[in-house]
Structure 1
């Protein structure tokens, strides 16, 4: 580290890097937490635009970023390149912060785990939702039994696809960019983080040789039935609805600051606006508002930087394995989604 400040490099200058990592890196630089030293993308124009106005160097290859002695490499490249780039970084004794999905399958995840152990370098997973105060509050409420025994969870996420992709290759079968691997990784990670390992899982999608536009996952955690629907062409309000014997929680995913909580003996639910709790003279009081999504993204990256010295609460590689295994199981048990409008359409 130069002057005690961790040196950070980034691979992949696509949409997630432009929209989220670029401002997060800038904030951490301004706070004196990191030195952003290098970036790589095979699209030369993209990487040059990404580093424009910054001190970081645009590199012509992934290997070239290591010429700038990074302490941490952010792998924000397409999922198909995650294993290759994570393994190369670890082989060079450099820690990694990898965007989700961390790996396309459990074999790749196990190879990353073995490499991290062999080279004694950490791999942190970009599971941004674990850093959202509302998601953490839901975990705390469930852990405290605030809703009583859970009976059901209904999840809908998605809507007409509007992510700023650069090429139709994004939709190539096996790219790791389908709705299951994309939004589904977040859903499954939160469910396992909140509730543990599911007892049952079923999966269906509407793929007919390519990448699906819709998928549905059914899980069971003890007596709690969970239904997840993810769509790229159907608009509905995005919502997590958790119901228990005593009450309910309703949460809009990616809302870092608020959720709705109600109890069945009440006529109305109460809106909860999350704030940090502070103490003054030993008396608890509300502090500043909790982190919104963008500040949570900054926090996530900061936690990975702190993880270089064994501090912080970054999501470790070992914590990101379960959703990878569940996605692999979904592929194994996959059924074709019923599409009534196609019935009888073929001669």
Structure 2
């Protein structure tokens, strides 16, 4: 994450200078510091206060709160990768640290910086299609983000595909539609972390929302939002699409959101915009696009889903795993 997206964004910015690189392996921090011209390379974030004004925290999920809170208490502004933390208690600790020093705490929900996400925000806020009647989201969450360690696959990470990827989608839908209320959730965690999950929520107006995520299967990778005056299908990236169908079903428009910079370099553009928003929030003493309140809300939604957890039934599972007698299952199948 740092190597592929955050560092290129930092190096392209005229508003910041990379002053320090931190890695638990000092040799790796030193190598990166030489490459980007940073004066300081260290193995602990505790060496940063006094040497930097702001920091990007991209450590394992379970370390977000400790690292970010210490930096915030020391007066260092923080952009922390999503999820903000593994639970709302840790989020609250981070928020208290930022409040105590007046520092900016931004959360890396970079999906909000995708052109189609911004377009959707304005579209739904304007009410152009009328009230939302139903939402269906199917998203592959495969190998686009290669891991450097197995820690993201361990229970200490706080969760699997819902926490690491689905949290982006929950944040987007909260941004677009307002409050979400989870009512059903199932996954294949089985004591570990989930690779597949299914979640049902309702919006404040009672409209149903269905979300399906998978690390193992290829899904549609779009949002389908049925509204009173039409249905719109949105793909943020791969595919980046906008399809509008009128209620009669006889007229369908297909297009995209023009954005030259995003077309040339999609992910690099998204991370540059996220960094610019963070830096501007510091200079202008304002909230970033995704601040602590929004980051906490997304974590709270994930926790609410996990509290509803039931086993996701797989075709190869024995019926007894779900409390269904084998004879009853065979009778039903017949």
Band the TM-score falls in, shorter-chain normalisation: 0.7 to 0.9
Report if the CA contact (8 A) 2:116-2:240 is conserved: yes
Q: Is the 8 A contact 1:134 1:255 kept in 2?
A: no
Per the TM alignment, residue 305 of structure 1 is displaced from its structure 2 partner at its CA by 0.7
**Does structure 1 residue 337 correspond to structure 2 residue 312?**
yes
- Aligned-CA RMSD value: 2.3
- Residue 249 of structure 2 is aligned to residue 275 of structure 1: no
Distance, in Å, in 2 between the alignment partners of 1:194 and 1:62 is: 35
Does 1:20 pair with 2:2?
Answer: no
Which of residues 313, 324, 330 is equivalent to 2:299? 324
Are residues 162 and 255 of structure 1, via their aligned partners in 2, closer, same or farther at CA, if it must alter by over 3 Å?
A: closer
- C-alpha change, 1:259 and 1:44, in structure 2 (3 Å) is farther
Could you tell me whether the CA contact under 8 Å between 1:79 and 1:176 is conserved in 2?
yes
2:316 is paired with a residue of what secondary structure?
A: helix
Q: TM-score normalized by structure 2?
A: 0.87
Alpha-carbon distance between aligned partners in 2 of 1:52 and 1:202, rounded to the nearest angstrom: 50
SS in 2 for 1:104: coil
2:155 to 151, 173, 188: 173
Mean CA deviation greater in 76-85 or 292-301: 292-301
Q: Distance in 1 between matches of 2:304 and 2:213?
A: 17
Residue number in structure 1 paired with 2:269: 295
SS where residue 234 of structure 1 aligns?
coil
Task: Indicate the residue corresponding to 2:206 in structure 1.
Answer: 223
> Aligned pair 1:142/2:142, yes or no?
no
The match for 1:305 among 272, 279, 283 is 279
Please state how far the C-alpha of 1:270 moved relative to its aligned partner: 2.0
Q: Mean alpha-carbon deviation: is it higher for 81-90 or for 139-148?
A: 139-148
The Cα offsets for residues 126-184 of structure 1, whole Å up to 9 and x where unpaired, read as: 11111222111111111222222222111111254453212233311131351011111
How far does residue 345 in structure 1 lie from its aligned partner after superposition?
8.2
Q: Select between 49-58 and 135-144 the one with higher mean Cα deviation.
A: 49-58
> Contact conserved, 1:216 with 1:227, CA < 8 A, in 2?
yes
Aligned-partner SS, 2:275: helix
Give the deviation of 1:198 after TM superposition: 2.0
Give distance in 2, aligned partners of 1:177 and 1:257: 28
Distance 1:177 1:162 in 2: 18
- Summarize the Cα distance change of 1:114–1:27 in structure 2 as closer, same or farther, 3 Å threshold: same
Aligned to 2:331: none
C-alpha separation between the residues in 1 aligned to 2:250 and 2:93? 53
Structure 1 window deviating more from structure 2 (239-248 vs 156-165): it is 156-165
- 2:41 corresponds in structure 1 to 58
- Larger proportion of helix: 2
1:84 deviates by: 0.5
Task: Quote how far apart the aligned CAs of 1:290 are.
Answer: 6.0
Q: Which runs of 5+ in 2 are unaligned?
A: 327-334
Rounded to whole Å, the distance in 2 between the matches of 1:195 and 1:145 is 11
Runs of at least 5 residues in structure 1 that lack an aligned partner in the other structure: 1-15, 277-287
State whether residues 232 and 243 of structure 2, in contact with CA within 8 Å, keep that contact through their aligned partners in structure 1: yes
Q: Does 1:214 align with 2:189?
A: no
Preserved contact between residue 180 and residue 327 of structure 1 (Cα < 8 Å): yes
Between the aligned partners of 1:296 and 1:162, the Cα distance in structure 2 is 15
* Inter-partner Cα distance in structure 1 for 2:142 and 2:80: 27
